[in-house]
Structure 1
Amino acid sequence: MRYLLISFLLFTISNSLQAQRLSTLSPDKNIKLEVSVVDGLAYYQIFHQKEEFLEQSPLGLMSSAGDFTKGLKLIGSKTAKIQESYKLDRSKVSQVNYKANEIKCIFTNTANDTLNIIFRVTNTDVAFSYLIPKSKKNNGNCIIEKEITGFKLPLKSTTFITPQAPPLSGWEKTKPSYEEEYTREEPIASKSQYGLGFTFPALFHVENKGWLLISETGISGNYPGTRLSDASPDGIYTAVFPQEGENNHNGPITASGVLPMQTSWKTITLGKTLKPIVESTVSTDVVKPLIKTSKIFNAGRASWSWIVWQDESCNYKDQKTFIDLAATMKCEFILIDALWDVNIGKEKIVELIDYAKSKNVGVLLWYNSNGNWNTAPQTPKDKMSMPEARRAEMQWLQQIGVKGLKIDFFGGDKQQTMKLYHDILTDAAEFGLNINFHGTTLPRGWERMYPNYMTSEAVLASENLVFQQAFSDRYPSTAAIYPFTRNAVASMDFGPVFLNKRLHREPNKGTIRQTTDAFEMATAVVFFSAIQHWGLTPENLTEKPACLFDYLRNVPTVWDETLFIDGYPGKYCVIARRKNTKWYVAAINGENKAKTITVNLPMLKGKNVSIITDGEGAESKFNSKKLENASYNLELSANGGAVLFMP
């Protein structure tokens, strides 16, 4: 990294005792950050092309090392230009060239305690973090009691955000788990469903100016996960710590550490269009890898019986059937879900692993995260919550050839829970196991921080297509929100690609799928997850055209490049992704009416492409052609989709 410190201010600070102000620009000068102190209170503002996207918003925190919520003075700053290139092997891009202008603002309070606030401004993002330095006065442990960090949106802005659920609510007291419905362009003054605020990431349509996404990154057990409060009447959302009841009342809601102590990073991505939000890498830009290992952790596709065939399928015979399905579909994995330890047993699971290995299929196994933070009864449990039991189990899993774990039912966002994620990932890396978290928090930079982190749920996912007809009915619209919200910041294990007309083992039972086959094919690209757990079942292979399965046998799950083509949350989405030299362009229609979307696809001009589009009813059509022009008309049926890809 090239890191240039400049000791003198490149901005002006007024001599007034009442107000101090500084500013810095993005490298392309389109984003302007202003930081100010007015009557002892610290604020920041963000402008894009001279338009105010974030109004004067509060900064500060309360800690055992000082009260930094009032009585502040801005006594100086340091600036730097950050330029770094880094690689990702399990993400939506593989090469990042990160350029940012950094400014570290130095504040003191009335007791002469010091707080640094570090801002980084790129051409699409603003990220900031608090740093409490070590001093003669404060040189030991520190507790941060709360942040007053705020985000003041223009009052005519609207939201696409999910509410925070009450602790110990939901099925078997498993919430909060980031599995709530998104708002759809509600006014920012609207109260959250449970009166507890909202989870990250939070998308805002900023009046007629553009779009802004707020999220959080850089947590490895060093800090609790925060969320947004309900907005105040004047449009200020505040970052708040977890609820006391999370993790079944175990552990404090505060943050603790040893000085110098740095908080999580809050991230703000903004632009006139949704392009910066879909393509942003800010969640990994401001973090560093935490583990060095020579082990290789592979991404890929997985067959998964549970999603359609449910609990009864967790038996030796059915899992062998889905190993065969994985092999036929050239999937890298099979996921064997809950209750395998009871219904199959440890001895027989070794036989299945050996059988899968003979088919060149790796096995992923489900685990319950518990401790005692919920009453979910599924086993195996009490294997992942304590170090000795966890390491013993992981050593056995390594010995029998398991490739990875899906770990479910976490307890919230307290710092001790965030540390559990870190400890699981760290131990699993040692034993060569990749990790997928469910019933879980938002991943915060983990694709870069941990070599074995693959994906997380942290979204209202595909199991709800099976559980609720109402969710299935809303799914097309919901699916057209996720690429601009949850999936924009990290790998998302939704579990897409269904071809059953009804989502049940028996064809005349279960919820009715509302999407077309082409829509389902498109979700394999529109939804990014380093491991994609598909909703396919064996009978699909004889019921649907072979061209669909040829496409799925080759579609990647990790990408070298991702481009936003077109879209609007809840209405439609078109995304292009590249792996090596091959491009995939996928579109989904979130509305129950046909539409034609004209898109510009210069990456496919002059190329021979295969095209999956909507046919009669839910059926698909397949053809191949050379695209003579960059402009292309996507004809999408109601709740339909399309995929264009280079064979």
Structure 2
Amino acid sequence: MPSVFFLLTNCKAQNTSLSLKSKDNLNQISLSLSEDGQLSYKVTRHDKAVILDSPLGLTFENDDFTTGLSVVNVSPIEEKREKYELKVANNKIADHVFKTKSITFKNKQGALMTIDLIAGEEGVAFRYKFDNKANGSKILKNELTGFHIDQKAKGWLQPYNKAGDYTPGYEDFYVNVKSGDPISGARNESIGWCMPALFNVNDAKNWVLIAESGTDGSFPGCHLAPDSKNGMYTIAFAKNDEKFTLPLPDKGNAYPESAEPWTMPWRVIMIGDNAGNILLSTMITDLAPASKIKDVSWIQSGKAAWSWWSHPEDFTPEMYNKFTDVSASFGFKYTLFDAGWEKANKEGKIVDYALSKGVQPLVWGFSAEYFDSEKRKKRFKELAEMGIKGVKIDFWCSDRQEVMASLQGVFEDAAKEHLLVNLHGTTVPRGWHRTWPNFVTAEAILGTESYFYEPRFPEKAAEQNTVLPFTRNVAGPADYTPFALTFRKYTRLNTSVHELAMAMIYTSGIIHFADSEEVFNSLPNELKNLLKEMPATWDKTEAIVAEPGKSIVLSRKKDNLSYIIGINGTNTSLPVFIDLTKYGKGYSKFRIISEGKDPLMDFKVETHPIDAKWKYNMAPKGGFIIEFVK
């Protein structure tokens, strides 16, 4: 009888400790077990639910952790500080303190599963972990993890496209939905929702961004299942048919598979009282492994001229050299040679020409050429010996586990040759730019190339541009290829300043400008100087206005440069009120770039004294750039 009493009191004590609060006591994640041993959790901020009761658990091919679970051990709460510098960032230094604990559960067969919890000022996260050293590998058939969002909540979600020639590639519109709404408005047939997924919850008092971090070669990239009945969003794995562009085997089912010990990716729930908190969060990189590159001095952010957008069918040496000249004249560090560059280099030695101009060449490549480890290493070595500085590797179009493993190999092998990496046609980053700082940007975004391909893009682009900084760009650097003034197949509706501002709204380790030599050379001198001085990463960023789908205004600082950049995502003019004295300390005046006589093509530049009660009306689909002047 005494032993039974001990067990009951011990279980009671442990059950009361299945929760974790952040150091500031605002964010909390709480686990609970039902009478039949089913595991669930909820997340609160200010003691108000932001994630309602949601399931946890895993089903393996030969093991089950969904029912009959009991608590074996609860670790002491520990404090962990993550302080590090990012090569590509809104804020150069990340410095956060987390509370952590681990809870170990036993299933009916006596097998053990640990869940790591972490809570900080920017949100909470959890992950599954198996510390056994068993023979063979485990195959995971299902992850029960859910995120129950109150049905009164609204959000911005991107459809996860079914496998095709160029999908999944995270290149769809973010759709404004109510929690639990079915998929609609997708560009292609879709089988779920992408992460990151943004919600405005708790009677619109909080914002939540659901994401992943720390995905490596032991797990596929995940998305959210299409059935979100009653607001319950659940984890879904990459599909077997995501193999159109890569030499992947047909597995029937592409389940996650790994030997033990096995630590799975973090399920990240970022929380903010306003959307600006989400935009500036570094929680995804906080949870990713620390940099694996000791000497990062060779990794430098910068800007690049790029011929493809304005001349998509001209692969001549003369065209590549013309854009190298643009980079040289504007002081850009890089020039990007896209598809077809190899032939042009044989004919005209375009790489040598760029190097002779003091411009570092970046080159395009097809994913299948970099998938095999030995071929990849050989190719990287060849490129480095040619004097090439980075690679844009295109058409991955898969979240399968083999692809996640290959990407880690790409980052590592490229780093050994001091090569930068830009991924296109790819999955969304998952904190990898902390672990591998040479990973400087990625597509996984519906960018300016859509003026060629998507008839709905002109009408929706401005709105999307005010959503993506709070979703896609939080996950990692985004290669939007901004500044597209020339009209393409689908005519642009955003103003000229809106397009220019995109180069400063998005965060990308390399900014690839998308227009012609003629456009660059036609700009007023003040804009030419802006392009020459504009940084590609930032020391400090503040969100002044943060309204996803409506407008965004950022304060950006780098060294002695200081800017305020705003864009309007709506079809009506929007007033902006800013105390410029707060952001312009040490400066005597400010220069503002706004729309000129023809809002679609022209710019107006004016200089004014710094005003404590500055007011400005942003044009429909317009914007502005303020540059503080000494």
Deviates most, 541-550 or 108-117? 541-550
Cα displacement string for residues 414-470 of structure 1 (whole angstroms, at most 9, x for unaligned residues): 110111111111111111110000000011111111131011101112110233343
Report deviation, 1:640. Answer: 0.7
Could you tell me which of 441, 449, 452 is aligned with 1:466? Answer: 452
Partner of 1:640: 622
In the TM superposition, what is the alpha-carbon distance from 1:557 to its structure 2 partner?
0.7
SS in 2 for 1:539: helix
- The worse-fitting range, judged by mean Cα deviation, of 537-546 and 408-417 is 537-546
- Corresponding residue of 2:257: 256
Question: Aligned partners of 1:31, 1:465: CA distance in 2, in Å?
Answer: 42
Out of 65, 89, 111, the residue aligned to residue 68 of structure 1 is 65
Query: Which SS does the other structure have where 1:224 is aligned?
Result: coil
Q: 2:88 aligns with which of 84, 87, 90?
A: 90
1:517-551, Cα deviation, whole Å (9 max, x unpaired): 22122111111111111013111134332211110
Corresponding residue of 1:625: 608
| CA spacing shift, 1:556–1:341, aligned 2, 3 Å | same
Report how far residue 604 of structure 1 moved. 2.0
* Partner residue, 2:198: 203
Report SS of the residue matched to 2:517.
coil
The aligned runs of 1:50-65 (5 Å cut-off) are 50-63=47-60
Distance apart, 1:331 and its partner CA = 1.1
Aligned to 1:111: 109
Partner of 1:305: 307
Q: Which residue of 2 aligns with 1:610?
A: 591
Percent identity, aligned pairs only, is: 29
CA deviations 1:22-55 (Å, max 9, x no partner) are: 3221111111221111131111111111211110
- Alignment equivalent of 1:445, drawn from 431, 436, 443: 431
1:362 Cα deviation from its structure 2 partner: 0.8
Choose which of 177, 183, 188 in structure 2 pairs with 1:191. 183
Which residue does the alignment assign to 2:100?
Answer: 102
**Which stretch has the larger CA shift, 83-92 or 262-271?**
83-92
**Deviation for aligned residue 1:627:** 1.6
Q: How does 1:148-297 map to 2 (within 5 A)?
A: 148-167=144-163, 169=164, 173-191=165-183, 193=186, 194=189, 196-206=191-201, 207-248=203-244, 250=249, 253-289=254-290, 291-294=292-295, 296-297=298-299
How far off is 1:290 after superposition? 5.3
Match of residue 347 from structure 2: 348
Partners in 2 of 1:258 and 1:634 — Cα distance? 59
Is this contact kept in 1: 2:180–2:230, CA < 8 A? no
1:563 equivalent to 2:549? Answer no
40-49 or 540-549, which moves further after superposition?
540-549
Post-superposition Cα deviations, 1:47-89, rounded to whole Å, max 9, x if no partner, equal: 1112111100111112357311111112331121111321112
Question: Do the aligned residues in 2 keep the contact of 1:525 with 1:584 (CA within 8 Å)?
Answer: no
Instruction: Name the CA distance, whole Å, in 1 between partners of 2:328 and 2:269.
Output: 42
Q: Is the 8 A contact 2:576 2:616 kept in 1?
A: yes
CA distance in 2, matches of 1:445, 1:13: 38
Contact 1:605/1:628 (8 A) holds in 2: no
Match of 2:362 among 361, 364, 367: 364
The 1-side partners of 2:277 and 2:102 are apart by 24
Task: Out of 178-187 and 264-273, give the one that drifted further.
Answer: 178-187
User: Is the 8 Å Cα contact of residues 596 and 604 (structure 2) preserved in structure 1?
Assistant: yes
CA pair 157-13 structure 1, distance change in 2 beyond 3 A:
farther
Superposed, 1:118-133 pairs within 5 Å as: 118-133=116-131
Equivalent residues of 1:13, 1:21 under 8 A apart: no
After TM superposition, give the deviation of residue 603 of structure 1 in Å: 2.4
One-letter amino acid of the counterpart of residue 361, structure 2: V
**Per-residue Cα deviation, 1:205-239 (whole angstroms, up to 9, x for no partner):** 21422211101111231211011012432211111
Superposed, 1:574-589 pairs within 5 Å as: 574-589=553-568
Q: d(CA) in 1 for partners of 2:170 and 2:624?
A: 29
What whole-Å deviation, never above 9, does each CA across 1:152-184 have from its counterpart, x for those lacking one?
0011112211111111x2xxx121111111112
> Contact 2:28–2:124 (CA<8 Å) still a contact in 1?
no
Q: Compute the displacement of 1:195 (Å).
A: 5.4
CA distance in 2, matches of 1:181, 1:48: 29
Instruction: Report what 2:139 is aligned to.
Output: 143
3-state DSSP of counterpart to 1:289: coil
> 1:575: how far off?
1.5
- Give the Cα–Cα distance (whole angstroms) in 2 for the partners of residues 300 and 123 of structure 1: 32
Distance 1:210 1:26 in 2: 16
Q: Mark the runs of 5 or more structure 2 residues left unpaired by the alignment.
A: 1-8
What residue in structure 1 maps to residue 384 of structure 2?
398
Deviations 1:342-389 (A, max 9, x none): 4x1x4336x21121112211111101112xxxxxxxxxxxx3122232
Within-5 A mapping of 1:588-599: 588-599=567-578
Distance in structure 2 (CA, Å) of the matches to 1:463 and 1:541:
18
Whether the 8 Å CA contact 1:614–1:636 is kept in 2: the answer is no
SS in structure 2 opposite 1:266? Answer: strand
Q: Residue 374 of structure 1 corresponds to which residue in structure 2?
A: none
Displacement of 1:198 after TM fit?
A: 0.7
Q: 2:228 and 2:542 mapped to 1: Cα distance?
A: 35
Deviation at 1:246, TM superposition (A): 1.2
Q: Secondary structure at the match of 2:42?
A: strand
Partner of 1:331: 332
| Alignment partner, residue 540 of structure 1 | 519
Q: Which of structure 1's runs of 4+ aligned residues deviate more than 4 A? A: none
Q: Find 2:374's aligned residue among 375, 388, 399.
A: 388
In structure 2, C-alpha distance between the alignment counterparts of 1:44 and 1:56, rounded to whole Å: 5
Residues in 2 aligned to 1:600 and 1:152: alpha-carbon distance in whole angstroms: 40
Matched with 2:3 is: none
Deviates more, 1:187-196 or 1:259-268: 187-196
SS in structure 2 at match of 1:390? helix
1:417 paired with 2:403, answer: yes
Tell me how far apart the structure 2 counterparts of residues 466 and 246 of structure 1 sit (CA, whole Å): 25
> How many Å apart are 1:96 and its aligned residue?
1.2
Between the aligned partners of 2:458 and 2:290, the Cα distance in structure 1 is 38
1:405, 1:552 → 2: CA distance? Answer: 23
The answer as to whether partners of 1:153 and 1:235 remain within 8 angstroms in 2 is yes
Q: Could you tell me the TM-score, scaled by structure 1's length?
A: 0.89
Whole-angstrom distance in 1 between the partners of 2:226 and 2:260: 31
CA change 1:527–1:195 in 2 (3 A) is closer
Gap change, CA 1:186 and 1:599, over 3 Å in 2: farther
- Amino acid of the structure 2 residue aligned with 1:72: L
The alignment's C-alpha RMSD in Å is: 2.1
Q: Secondary structure at the match of 1:177?
A: coil
CA contact (8 A) 1:412 1:441 kept: yes
SS at match of 2:592: strand
Cα distance in 1 between the residues matched to 2:441 and 2:410: 14
Q: Deviations over 1:300-342 (max 9, x none)?
A: 11101101221x2221111111111111111111111112224
Structure 1: 5+ residue stretches without partners:
1-11, 371-382, 504-509
The Cα shift of 1:638 comes to 1.2
AA of the residue aligned to 1:25 = K
Instruction: Write the deviation string for residues 445-497 of structure 1: whole angstroms up to 9, x where unpaired.
Output: 11111131011101112110233343122211111111111012210001001
The aligned length equals 605
What amino acid is aligned across from residue 146 of structure 1 in structure 2?
N
Query: Is contact 1:304–1:535 with CA below 8 Å preserved after alignment?
Result: yes
Residue type at the aligned position of 2:598: G
- Structure 1 CA distance, aligned partners of 2:90 and 2:447? 19
Matched, 1:314 2:315: yes
Q: C-alpha separation between the residues in 1 aligned to 2:61 and 2:616? A: 58
